[in-house]
Amino acid sequence: MDRDAELTAALDAALVRELRTTFWQINDSFFRGALTAPTLELVGTRATLGRWIPATRTIEISRALVVENPWGAVVEVLKHEAAHQYVYEVLGEREQTPHGPAFREVCSKLGIDAHATGLPRADPAEPANRIVDRVARLLALAESPNRNEAEAAMAAAHRLMLKHNLDAARAAAARAYGFAHLGRPSGRVLEHERIVAMILGKHFFVEAIWVPVYRPLEGKRGSVLEICGTRANLAIAEYVHGFLRETADRLWSEHRRATAISSNRERRAFLAGVMTGFADTLSRQSAKSRSEGLVWVGDGDLVRYFRRRHPHVRHVRHAGQQRTDAWVHGREAGRKIVLHRPVQGVTVSRGRLLPAKA
């Protein structure tokens, strides 16, 4: 056996172990430990993403699914197949079709997608594009060279989002929710990344959580930021996430040139300061909105969707970066950030991490 084959065999073995660990986590979190371990097998087919085979008590997972898609997609497919196992072995349902009423009821109760893709899907009829387009037009105005006009346009865009979500909450109409994973998985979550997650959750009408992922081609674990929300809010939050990361990196490069810094040693502190400064700006805008009677108290349906996806959430406190001169300079720069550029054109997964397959 050559080295490449050995490496592939080693990664496959590590991947199956990770799938087994993930299965037990799903079993504990969603099925209260009712399932007994099936055989987990990687298969070469692309015809199906995953398959529960009752006769051999096997869950098959497509190797292409694992290699070509984010780990979040793999977890959703594994949940879907575990739900099939639950219906067959725990409920003892043998008469209905695999995606029949019993299966759909279990998936609905547990927040698992009942479609054959194994992935949650937002309602395509949801009128998301209209609000996204209106926000995009306001953010385009925020490109004005006049700072007062630019800040007013950014504030107007955020106030429009607030009014849109308040109106939807007052209407008490059912809304479709989905999720998106933002950025690349990393082995360590840094302070500026945690502040961005806080900004999205506090000011952009989504729930944010860091979720564990596995990087199969590296054989390593990591974390990625997941946001949950409506289609429109996911689109805007994903745009804001990318905008802030790019803007912070640009501000650091400008700061290095202006101060003749030769290393990146202070980069993390500066970026944490940038995000803190931008959060300060948004908090001032929110205070102004509250003074105008626009008070956001949260979306109960979204919270319930989030809790179905994440039944056991653990909160951990982290020590922040030392408040060095770099952090202070970063905060000053962050307070001057004006969120702008059209949102149109951003790519949003909206919980659809894979194309639909039967």
pLDDT of 102 above 70: yes
**CA angle at residue 350 from 130 to 101, to 5 degrees?**
110
- The whole-number pLDDT of residue 118 equals 45
Locate tokens 């993390």: which residue?
268
**Is residue 315 very low, low, confident or very high in pLDDT (cuts 50, 70, 90)?**
low
CA-CA distance, 115 to 19, in Å (whole number)?
21
In terms of CATH architecture, what is 3-110? 2-Layer Sandwich (3.30)
CA-CA distance, 81 to 228, in Å (whole number)?
22
- The whole-number pLDDT of residue 323 equals 79
Question: Which tokens go with 252?
Answer: 């650091």
Locate tokens 């991490």: which residue?
353
* Phi, psi dihedrals of residue 104, rounded to the nearest 5°: -65, -35
Q: Which pTM was predicted?
A: 0.82
CA-CA distance, 52 to 245, in Å (whole number)?
41
CA nearest neighbour of 224 among 180, 192, 267: 180
pLDDT of 161 above 70: yes
The residue ranges of every structural domain in the chain are: 3-110, 128-334
CA-CA distance, 135 to 139, in Å (whole number)?
6
pLDDT tens-digit readout, 117-141: 544 444 444 456 778 888 888 887 7
